[in-house]
């Protein structure tokens, strides 16, 4: 029996459809549990003068209010740079930054109390936009650089040269389950924290530090998340700290559930970028030299901005060979919440910048953009070394581009679209194929480790706990399948348990698309250890029963919920019976597996190395239609082709591909963050911030997996799938740029991302002489 490779339903599927799958706020309150919330800074920048909670504390049901002075241990945190206060004592850095924590007996009392706390500040001029931060050199980090050859010299010599500035916007994670934590005070100051987090180890660490305790006094647990997308990698910490602080001071359970507006206003998002680019190329569009200078909007604190920027630099090439290249990057300080991880982690911003360059070259040379891209793809056996020195092995990009161009009928549709555009005064259509080559592994090499605890019980059922957290990506289901496959049992015998630091210590965040790779591999290693012991025991048992002499452990086969000798497969011992007998013979039926991704390493200072275990590759062909008078965008067709190796769960992985693409479409075409003049987020709810809906799925949507069996180094020849498809959404933006260019080159040149209706209309209005004007017969609007 083989369970891996099949489309087993999500392991919580029945719970999801019946409402019985519990998210944090669905847990029944414990006796005496408190409702906890925060009071935020009223200003974007300034000094904190006084916090007065007198009125709030006088309300019935309000239990307490705590500020920086009440933090027993550390109050300053940060994985990369320790610069973010849990509760600031002197300075505030963004609107809504938590400055006080309040607890009440009821949600109503909490809501009333939060409004009554007075926060007095002295306001200072905030830095609210990236251009100001760049001009004033307000940087959070030193410059990062990756380079090869002599970009300056080759740019000067190049027969063709273009340059410009490219802008891409931020994106709200918009997980539907807001940030959440519940802390239970334990004996002698110990603390148990349930958190909606991608990173139980970080929650354990920050809570221990904040309480001034050892990590052994804190247990952090996550059963599941109602979405995360990177937004709960570091930023689940603040609510967890709030809950733990209240539990510490009151000795009572404490629950923090952000409401949606608060969540959107005070948590970090995908980084907005400004990118200066300068490219030199041959007359046929072949790239000779390129320089990118990336500026990311880090917000008020460092958070994960440096590794996000690293991934930007490592993906500026996207799918294309860059002979001479200089990549520079800076993280800018601004007075918005610290920006953070979001699916793609700096990759989308880099790839969009690169695709913008290629689209610009195509328009400049009046050559089809697909030809330009295909001429510049990484080669097989040559032209295959990245700017950071890693060889692109087992490169399938040329085949993927060729296959997709054929299957989506690119050339014929190009002609059809040109004819349609010539004939229509109302709409203009565009088409683009863009690619993705996404490096799999954390760029911080040490994080590429996973561990798993496998407990086999004497009835032959199995519990598995790993460091990976379940946020909807199907990690638990895929590991369930890997374990069932390895032990040769029905997957219904295998149950994935909540992620807990008590069972899995020193875990890496569930991020970088790599959680099945590292935690799944660790679980399989644990299973092999158990099997080794069981095989030795079973060899003896089988020999006793059949009289077969000289039976070796290696002859024992695990399959069909049983073990048997390969020589006499008709004689089986049921797996449950074997486990029972093994236990009675004092055979250990539990193991912990550990996996560290081999062969990777990256020298950040030199900007050189092999940061990635392998690449997930793909391409998308997207057609768009733009209303020339309103700027309204529709996406009538999308075709995706992606190489995710041999999927462990085809249904789940396909869901990641389609969902990731649509989410990327949201970033590239619709989702727009707007801030007020004082730094307050204006688009802080689904009424003002548009994420894709069911109507945004292209009416023609073809999703195909590239047939590939060669990713031999990874678990079961699979490939990571979580993040890469998001960047296929960039094809929609490129297609709009293509459409704008067909109106006028001036309309397309300054086009930014996202391609909202407003942005498209702005660009169309830049071409007054050539764009068709509404005739007198046209109705207004």
Partner 1 sequence: MPDTFTIRVNGTEHAVATDADRPLLDVLREDLALTGTKYGCGEGACRACTVLIDGEATQACITSIETAAGSEIETIEGLAASGQLHPVQQAFIDQAGMQCGYCVPGQIMTAVALLRSSPQATDEEIVAEMTGNLCRCCNYENILAAVQQAAGRAPDASAP
User: Which chain residues interact with partner 1 by CB under 8 A?
Assistant: 7, 9-10, 12-23, 25-26, 28, 107-108, 173-178, 224-229, 257, 259-261, 471-474, 650-652, 654-656, 658-663, 666, 685-687, 691-697, 701
The CA distance from 536 to 555, in Å, is: 10
Nearer to partner 1, 129 or 263 (CB): 263
Q: Output the smallest distance, CB 345 to partner 1, in A.
A: 17
Nearer to partner 1, 309 or 341 (CB): 341
Q: Output the smallest distance, CB 22 to partner 1, in A.
A: 7
Q: Are 614 and 600 in contact (CB under 8 A)?
A: no
Closest CA to 767 of 743, 750, 734, 739: 743
Nearer to partner 1, 153 or 492 (CB): 492
Nearer to partner 1, 590 or 655 (CB): 655
Q: Output the smallest distance, CB 262 to partner 1, in A.
A: 10
As to burial, measured by CB atoms within 10 angstroms (0-12 exposed, 13-18 middle, 19+ buried), residue 253 is buried
Q: Output the smallest distance, CB 753 to partner 1, in A.
A: 18
The CA distance from 14 to 22, in Å, is: 12
Q: Are 44 and 204 in contact (CB under 8 A)?
A: no
Nearer to partner 1, 228 or 619 (CB): 228
* Strand 601-603 versus strand 608-610 pairing type: antiparallel
* Strand 494-496 versus strand 462-466 pairing type: parallel
Q: Are 70 and 249 in contact (CB under 8 A)?
A: yes
The CA distance from 424 to 744, in Å, is: 15
Q: Output the smallest distance, CB 712 to partner 1, in A.
A: 24
Task: Tell me, letter by letter, the H, E, C secondary structure of 550-607.
Answer: CCCHHHEEEECCEEEECCEEEEEEEHHHHHHHHHHCCCCCEEEEEEECCCCEEECCCC
Q: Output the smallest distance, CB 471 to partner 1, in A.
A: 6
Q: Output the smallest distance, CB 335 to partner 1, in A.
A: 26
Q: Is the peptide bond before 251 cis (omega within 30 degrees of 0)?
A: no
Q: Are 156 and 172 in contact (CB under 8 A)?
A: no
Nearer to partner 1, 261 or 532 (CB): 261
Among candidate residues 108, 723, 758, 759, the one labeled active-site is: 723
Question: Which residues sit opposite 450 in a β-bridge?
Answer: 595
The CA distance from 267 to 677, in Å, is: 19
Nearer to partner 1, 114 or 375 (CB): 114
Q: Output the smallest distance, CB 252 to partner 1, in A.
A: 18
CA angle 678, 681, 683 (to 5 degrees): 140
Alpha-carbon distances, residue 267 vs 186, 272, 668 (angstroms):
29, 14, 21
In this structure, the chain runs to a length of 781
Q: Output the smallest distance, CB 447 to partner 1, in A.
A: 23
The single residue listed with the structure tokens 């991934």 is 311
Nearer to partner 1, 592 or 654 (CB): 654
Alpha-carbon distances, residue 317 vs 108, 296, 352, 399, 483 (angstroms):
52, 18, 10, 18, 37
Nearer to partner 1, 47 or 259 (CB): 259
Q: Are 352 and 730 in contact (CB under 8 A)?
A: yes
Question: Which residues sit opposite 278 in a β-bridge?
Answer: 163, 291
Active-site residue flag, 723: yes
Both tokens assigned to 41: 């800074």
* DSSP state for residue 492 in the 8-state scheme: G
Residues involved in catalysis = 723
């Amino acid at each position: 029996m083989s369970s891996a490779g099949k489309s087993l339903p999500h392991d919580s599927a029945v719970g999801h459809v019946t409402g019985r799958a519990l998210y944090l706020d669905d847990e029944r309150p414990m006796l005496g549990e408190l409702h906890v919330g925060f009071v935020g800074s009223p200003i974007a920048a300034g000094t904190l003068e006084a916090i007065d909670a007198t009125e709030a504390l006088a309300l019935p049901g309000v239990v307490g209010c705590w500020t920086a002075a009440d933090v027993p241990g550390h109050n300053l945190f940060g994985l990369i740079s320790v610069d973010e206060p849990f509760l600031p004592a002197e300075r505030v850095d963004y609107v809504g930054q938590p400055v006080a924590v309040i607890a009440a007996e009821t949600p109503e009392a909490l809501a009333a109390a939060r409004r009554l706390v007075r926060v007095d500040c002295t306001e200072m001029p905030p830095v609210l936009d990236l251009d100001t931060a760049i001009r004033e050199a307000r940087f959070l980090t030193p410059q990062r650089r990756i380079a090869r050859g002599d970009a300056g010299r080759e740019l000067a010599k190049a027969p063709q040269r273009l340059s410009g500035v490219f802008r891409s916007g931020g994106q709200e994670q918009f997980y539907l389950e807001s940030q959440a934590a519940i802390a239970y005070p334990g004996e002698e100051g110990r603390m148990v924290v349930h958190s909606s987090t991608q990173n139980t180890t970080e929650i354990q660490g920050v809570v221990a530090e904040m309480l001034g305790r050892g990590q052994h006094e804190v247990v952090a647990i996550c059963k599941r998340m109602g979405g995360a997308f990177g937004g709960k990698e570091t930023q689940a910490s603040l609510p967890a700290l709030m809950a733990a602080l209240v539990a510490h001071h009151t000795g009572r359970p404490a629950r923090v559930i952000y409401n949606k507006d608060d969540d959107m206003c005070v948590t970090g998002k995908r980084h907005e970028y400004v990118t200066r680019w300068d490219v030199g190329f041959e007359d046929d569009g072949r790239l000779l030299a390129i320089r990118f200078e990336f500026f990311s909007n880090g917000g008020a604190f460092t958070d994960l901005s440096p590794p996000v920027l690293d991934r930007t630099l490592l993906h500026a090439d996207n799918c294309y060979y860059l002979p001479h290249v200089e990549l520079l990057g800076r993280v800018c300080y601004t007075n918005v919440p610290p920006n953070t991880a979001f699916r793609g982690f700096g990759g989308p911003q880099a790839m969009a910048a690169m695709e913008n360059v290629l689209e610009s070259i195509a328009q400049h040379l009046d050559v089809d953009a697909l030809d330009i891209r295909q001429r510049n793809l990484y080669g097989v056996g040559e032209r295959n070394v990245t700017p950071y020195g890693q060889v692109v092995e087992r490169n399938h990009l040329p085949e993927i581009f060729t296959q997709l161009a054929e299957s989506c009928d690119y050339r014929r549709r190009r002609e059809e679209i040109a004819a349609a555009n010539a004939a229509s005064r109302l709409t203009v259509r565009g088409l683009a194929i863009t690619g993705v080559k996404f490096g799999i592994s954390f760029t911080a090499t040490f994080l590429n480790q996973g561990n798993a605890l496998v407990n086999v019980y004497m009835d032959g059922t199995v519990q598995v706990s790993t460091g990976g957290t379940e946020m909807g990506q199907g990690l638990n289901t895929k590991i369930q399948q890997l374990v069932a496959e390895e032990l040769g049992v029905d997957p219904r015998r295998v149950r994935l348990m909540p992620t807990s630091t008590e069972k899995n210590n020193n875990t890496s965040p569930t991020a970088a698309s790599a959680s099945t790779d590292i935690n799944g591999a660790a679980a399989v290693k644990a299973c092999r250890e158990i099997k080794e012991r069981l095989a030795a025991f079973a060899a003896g048992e089988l020999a006793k029963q059949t009289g077969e002499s000289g039976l070796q452990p290696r002859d024992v086969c695990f399959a069909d919920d049983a073990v048997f000798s390969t020589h006499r497969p008709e004689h089986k011992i049921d797996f449950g019976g074997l486990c029972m007998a093994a236990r009675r013979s004092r055979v250990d039926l539990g193991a912990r597996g550990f996996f560290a991704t081999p062969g990777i390493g990256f020298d950040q200072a030199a900007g050189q190395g092999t940061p990635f275990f392998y690449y997930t590759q793909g391409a998308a062909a997207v057609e768009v239609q733009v209303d020339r008078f309103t700027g309204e965008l529709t996406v009538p067709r999308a075709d995706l082709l992606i190489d995710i190796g041999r999927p462990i769960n085809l249904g789940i992985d396909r869901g990641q591909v389609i969902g990731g693409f649509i989410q990327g479409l949201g970033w590239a075409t619709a989702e727009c963050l707007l801030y007020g003049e004082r730094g307050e987020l204006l688009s802080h709810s689904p009424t003002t911030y548009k994420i894709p809906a069911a109507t945004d799925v292209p009416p023609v949507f073809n999703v195909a997996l590239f047939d590939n069996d060669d990713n031999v180094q990874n678990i079961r020849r699979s490939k990571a799938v979580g993040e890469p498809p998001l960047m296929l959404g960039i094809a929609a933006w490129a297609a709009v740029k293509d459409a704008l260019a067909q109106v006028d080159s001036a309309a397309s040149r300054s086009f930014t991302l996202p391609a909202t209706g407003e942005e498209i209309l702005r660009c169309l209005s830049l071409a007054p002489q050539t764009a068709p004007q509404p005739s007198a017969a046209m109705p207004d609007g």
